[in-house]
Structure 1
């Protein structure tokens, strides 16, 4: 085809065209080639829209949108679009094969489709044909939205022919069934039908004809998904019913609001914007795991309609629309049919009439004021003055934006229907989270847990632990369960194993005052204080003998528990010098001779220590001099049984003097008497 694409096989077909698997010979890749049906090739208005939307689709670059590579016309006159080939089949195929799916999977796929629709809506493109047939699945199970280009061109076709052109009316929004102008809310309604089908395996409305299904979309409230399957979480049930509101302004105002609620549900939080109603009309919105507070709406605590109580005029307008719809249903049942006219379908004409009636009876559209930068209360008041409701969602922000509007769903200066609700994103300041418990984990596992909580891993140190195995976290700061701002660093202490027994923890104690006590009493007190008695030593002291007079280290000194302490004990006032084991009296000095006062001072010769001299002329004239005790002998020497022999005086020479000899200090045999010096 077109000298570039080789058709491999037919992948499927729709109301507007067929889809082929083709090989791009230029870029050597597989593509999906969508070819417009021949009967529409001569409809220049349709072809122009087809090409315009193909260009717009090619400009959409998003991981959940099927990429459009090329567009052209064959030699035979057929228009085609070459796009990304997604081999995983369609979401419809999966539902038909497996029926309902797990809520978490349905939520994940819905978020991906909503993201894709949000990108398209921001570019001014309304899909108009959101259904599971147009959601393709990759091999990894991710969603990709297709058919942005063709679906918009179908707006001029009548509903009576829609079973051939659009497939079915199963996924149509009420305004699409009525032929009204379509906006992003229409795509969101259709996505709500898709989500309903994913959760229950069934669509919300079924009838024998496309007209019957369309009328149910317009006038009949859907049965809540939880009534069909109680396993559907209540929070997700609320989102579905929010999407399936009859009036566009009662749904999510844009895909961003929907994605915000879905993200909150994934985190186990309450949806902000969803306001579900049971079949009886009672509000049933709840969170997945906790009661769901209604979206913050001021002016209407019941939350019935985006923050505003309907005026009687708006109720009359709705009544008028309901009467017209009932009339159309009756005409359909009578077989009148719906024929195409120059101005569009009969549904389109009636829809325009209803729209005009509502505009005449309601407040119409108005310019949305810019409120970014204002406080939440200021923004609420400014929007209320213009007739708009408010829904507030808190989001993480810097401290300077806390409490102020950082975004609004409808930009300032744009037109919106009065009575609709404007979603405001208000800065909630730095978000806080609970610090997870990581004690007992390895550092690697602890870091994963910290990252998942939105925190950061801080410093790390090691310390002994008797309770936690080596290599595992034994302590953390901040502690588990504490509130911390996102990005807060968590400090880790990692166990190095049990503490060594040879290195007990040091505990300081003071050496107690034990002065005046006995050794036994002092020993008891030392042990009680944490010191280790290490013996005694004796010192001369006027204190009673055996009394403690000091310690070593001194009393009052701070020491480690178990430090040895020596007791200093008084030995009394007469304790002998160290090394005198005998305990005898000290040696007395020798006395000088009575007549030696006028003699020169010469050292005297040693006196004999024992035995009388045979030639001693005066044995009794000299006072006896006792021998001193042995100073260094290891054993005491018994004294001589007889008193020491008197020593004879030295003969006096002329002009001389006789000196007394000092006592002998060394033990020896009886010494020989000193000789007399010559004159």
Structure 2
């Protein structure tokens, strides 16, 4: 049973689609409605919800991964339960898993192999330091983006699966290719089980395929502890023996022969392509160097033999089985004796020819002072001491000796030491004006975590306009996060209809949006004095901050004639009476006046009770982001406007004063109506100066 698209998990995460299915959990793409970002939500399958042990393990393991903060580990944001559904909210990675990457790319270059594998080992080293064993390392649980940055995911899920039902064979099939021999035998997984799986992943990166395959999970599991790992050099002869040795040591059958830690494996991998290791001998597990043990043959009872009706046939079968077996035993004993004699002779020859040779002690990872003491005690002298940056060795410790460890040398031979200065610091540059994608790719390669902040700016879209770390700052890459502010291009705005604005209103509007304002005046019979007559940027069109805006303000009615100022001649009484009667039919007088009103702002919590019931307010540092605007529409009636037409329309986030400039006839009063979010909040009629 799957979660329906559109479902809200925890009242916060809206399901957008299914990303993938697992043996125990399904993963969905969801939208975090509070932080407005995509996340991956892993939900425990319904058939596991009633299993108390699976629930306990799922939650415990999920919570433990929240402490794993590493650039190559998928971040866990939240662990919770919703109506009985256990879920984990994780970072959403836009990319593909390593399995698909290998299938698409085939055989990778050795440099890419080491780059990818080093990231995985770095992530797993942190997990092991926190006493967390992955238990299910495989390419399907390793995500990779377009910059070849790895993200390890699915920590701790496999252990819950292993303790539920043994019928989940199909679920285990994807993991059995990477299962260590001890896990195949049913033993408890350890750190070295993870290292074995990492060795199989490295094998697959190099060759493009897994070392063991078969028709069933059982047959593959048997091969892990019965058959040797196939040679990668047989697949790719150009691979140096040193790199194959890393695979052989990581995938040794006995945990004792494997690397003790991911740091040790990573250090060996980093130098596997060095010229100094070109003549390296093939790795041989210590258990193969132990004294050969004779295993007592298993005796077959009569009942174990094939049953036939003919007694003679039974006798023939027994004879045919005994003869080859006796021959094999005899030849085996002769071969062992030959090896013992030959080996003893060779050892004697080496001892006689080089009676005083001693092995260089293993001082790798040891502090310089202690390493000097060990070499002097072994009867060597100290040669040159070099200090170099090395990200895989602790500062002040030895990461290399020349000649190498275990080399047989004469006493008093000088041993050169290479001392780590730790991780090489990285110098932050000024990235202003550079493309974000290029800078991010370069910084990620150095191990620096990059975060993006989008801003509007005059620079072209995609260019960097600022950064959280100043230039010329030295940082340790794996411990550093830098925020790059990236241009979205200039911000566009929508021009309001400035009709009805006064000069003061226009100047304030231009200042708010950074417009270059030019004001002109003209006589007008249609628009009242002091109000906007026209504007150069049309209403509802887009503009940028810094654009030029020309506004024409009305000067009012033009004077029709100067003759009205001259004294009029006296009229006869009859004419005066006639004139008096004519004056009664003249046009009414035009009256202009200003009505100042204050439009109150209504906060969202008072405006809608539904908002509170549906979702909680997010935590936002900037209180302005919490404010919801009120949409205001003003209707006005005078000689120039009708109540059926919108006079002004705008949004407010606080109380706003507005001047309404009326031009009315003396016998026709004015009126206005104010709507806030579609509700009439102010109305006045019969307005006369």
> Which TM-score bucket, shorter chain as reference?
0.3 to 0.5
Structure number with the higher strand fraction is 2
TM-score (norm 2): 0.43
Larger radius of gyration: 1
Larger helix percent: 2
